[in-house]
Amino acid sequence: MHTDTKGIMAFQPNSTVKVLDPIRENYDNYLLIDVGSNMVNKKFSRDLESVLQRAKDSGVQKIIVPCTSLRTSKEALHLARIYPGALYSTAGIHPHEAKSWEDNYYDELRDIAKNPECVAIGICGLDYNKDFSSPDIQRKVFELQISLAKEIKKPIMLHQKGAHEDFLRIIKTHLPLELPAILHSFTGSFEEAT
């Protein structure tokens, strides 16, 4: 969910997209969840408590720590256990990190994702804007993570930059997803996202 002056996009499975107008909507009717706090970044290690308090004071009720590697998936799960009810983790390999994929990663991500503190698979997807991992390995790792999300029936946190056609083709081969999805990063149009 990205916020700007145009509003907040709220996605529900099997429904239309609703754009919330921040000027007109009463936020008291909504649960405010930050889905993009990189709490495993070392810059938060010294003042994590104050970061969490500032979020709470601002009305944020829950924070999801999106993960980009097996290491960050493990670290985020650890943090979520330290701060139950406030922090939640994901389990996933970002397209930039797809080249690091090893045969045991599927099982390791599944083990992490089966924990109740882990609420989604991802960040996963395709990013052809930067050449950190080859498109072939990105597509393979993306498909494996979609399969994992479907297997364990957890939402999926998606990333797509500069790879719209391949991204849609892969998503369409896995339809119906039958699980909620968050478009964490997306370079397509609003119409393409819906």
Annotated binding site for a divalent metal cation: 159, 184
Going by the annotation, the residues of the binding site are 159, 184
d(CA 157, CA 123): 5
Q: How far is CA 72 from each of CA 11, 40, 79, 157, rounded to the nearest angstrom? A: 26, 7, 10, 15
Contact 163, 126 (CB under 8 A): yes
β 33-34/62-65 pair status: parallel
